Structure 1
Amino acid sequence: MQRQRYIYIMLSMTGTKFSRFLQLCTGKEYTHVSIAMDRQLGELYSFGRRSMNLPFIAGLVRENPKGGVFAKYHTRCLIYEVPVSEEEYHAIRGLLRNFFRDYERYHYNFVGLPFIALGIPTECRYHFVCSQFVAYLLDKSGAVQWDKDFSLVQPADFTRLENKRQIYQGFLSDYALSA
């Protein structure tokens, strides 16, 4: 019998100028998405700021739910638990290892943002926005089959995942303290 595994999808709104701009453009409550391999969010990954004070220095990041931008801006979040097979779980881990093996090559896809808004699929090998990155991991692992190209997935699309279970909504600092 195969063991049931879970991944965790966290949608968030930090309140930074960039996130408020994205919220204004999309009209959505959450503007950022991350993927965690554990319920405590100790392994939390996305594409975002690499520097607290320089928002355009951005790319592949391992995020700290108890610090950095999340703590500074008193982040609101929504966390889903998503069941995946053992093979899908290990495929996501393998993809993450490959991404971090070439960490310095990956950058935030600022140029791709208008293409997402216009519904034009694009693929820049070493450039992702947060939602493209998480969608790519789920797609390539076989965990989720999107109804559109992964490059067009936005944070709000994760609210429509099948088999997800909401485990938390509120301030991230409150979840981090209770987890």
Structure 2
Amino acid sequence: MKDIYIVLIKAHTGLGAAARRLTHYPYTHIALSLDRSMTDFISFSRRYHFFPFESGITHEYRHYYAFGKHKDFRAKIFRLSVDKEHYEAVLSYIAECMNDRDMRFNLFSMATMPIIGGFRIPHTENCMSFTARCIELSGCAELRRPFWKYSIKDMDELLSEHLLFEGRIRRRNAPDDGYMTPFTPIRFLRGMIKLFAELTKRLFTGHGAK
């Protein structure tokens, strides 16, 4: 058997704080880890802290979640013990997403999840849909509706019997990998316009669908 960890994260971001006020639920980000030490995480997320629209599937690390004055972050961890066949199915899906340069971050679905339950755009994922698909492929829980309709809170409830840990995880110092690249308004706006335009095109034309 192999272990897969589903990690719910209370994000120290402005968007995270806004989401908590709207939903009255503490966890605003979700990731998968194959690493029991909780050093390396995989998710659909921003690749740079100050540029949320430059997003996609990426590896994340503890200093992405606890930065600056923050020494730790709150997390809830579930352990899924899976057989070889299901483990390889999850790995295959992760590799497919990693190797697909045409995959985009579904910001629109993420933003509307608390209101209308999100919606599908061809050939896109976000942290919730990506993780829910991995849970589905693991065979450890039965999804009773399409995976992209699952919120973080839904997955919290779905995996309750697999709870391993809830509490604070300490930050670890790491070499500068560019995640905290300084903010510039032009880059921020350029990223926003590019992502919005691509998602709108796919929403109405189906471009990018396989």
TM-score normalised to structure 2 length: 0.71
**Paired residue for 2:19, among 16, 19, 22?**
22
Residue 154 (structure 2) pairs with residue 157 (structure 1):
yes
Percentage of matched positions with identical amino acids: 21
**Cα separation, 2, equivalents of 1:20 and 1:162:** 24
**Cα separation, 1, equivalents of 2:45 and 2:52:** 8
Task: Decide whether aligned partners of structure 1 residues 6 and 161 sit closer, same or farther in structure 2, where only a CA change above 3 A counts.
Answer: farther
Deviations 1:44-85 (A, max 9, x none): 1111111122122222111112x2243344321111112222
Residue 128 (structure 2) pairs with residue 131 (structure 1):
yes
**Cα separation, 1, equivalents of 2:28 and 2:118:** 19
Per the alignment, residue 80 of structure 2 pairs with 82
Q: Which is worse superposed, 156-165 or 144-153?
A: 156-165
**Cα separation, 2, equivalents of 1:158 and 1:50:** 23
**Cα separation, 1, equivalents of 2:134 and 2:34:** 12
Q: Which is worse superposed, 75-84 or 87-96?
A: 75-84
Residue 72 (structure 2) pairs with residue 70 (structure 1):
no
Letter in 1 for 2:64: G
SS in 2 for 1:40: coil
Per the alignment, residue 169 of structure 1 pairs with 166
Per the alignment, residue 57 of structure 2 pairs with 60
Per the alignment, residue 108 of structure 2 pairs with 111
Deviations 1:111-165 (A, max 9, x none): 1135423445632233222111100122245443212221111111222235743
Q: Give the conservation status (yes or no) of the 8 Å contact 1:46–1:63.
A: yes
**Paired residue for 2:34, among 3, 23, 37?**
37
Deviation at 1:31, TM superposition (A): 0.8
Task: Choose 1 or 2 for highest CA Rg.
Answer: 2
Letter in 2 for 1:112: S
Letter in 1 for 2:67: A
Q: Give the conservation status (yes or no) of the 8 Å contact 2:43–2:57.
A: yes
Task: Decide whether aligned partners of structure 1 residues 162 and 111 sit closer, same or farther in structure 2, where only a CA change above 3 A counts.
Answer: closer
Deviations 1:30-50 (A, max 9, x none): 111101112123441111111
Per the alignment, residue 196 of structure 2 pairs with none
Q: Which is worse superposed, 151-160 or 118-127?
A: 118-127
Structure 2: gaps (5+ residues): 174-210
Equivalent residues, number: 171
Q: Give the conservation status (yes or no) of the 8 Å contact 1:88–1:143.
A: no
**Cα separation, 2, equivalents of 1:140 and 1:82:** 11
Task: Decide whether aligned partners of structure 1 residues 75 and 91 sit closer, same or farther in structure 2, where only a CA change above 3 A counts.
Answer: same
**Cα separation, 2, equivalents of 1:21 and 1:83:** 34
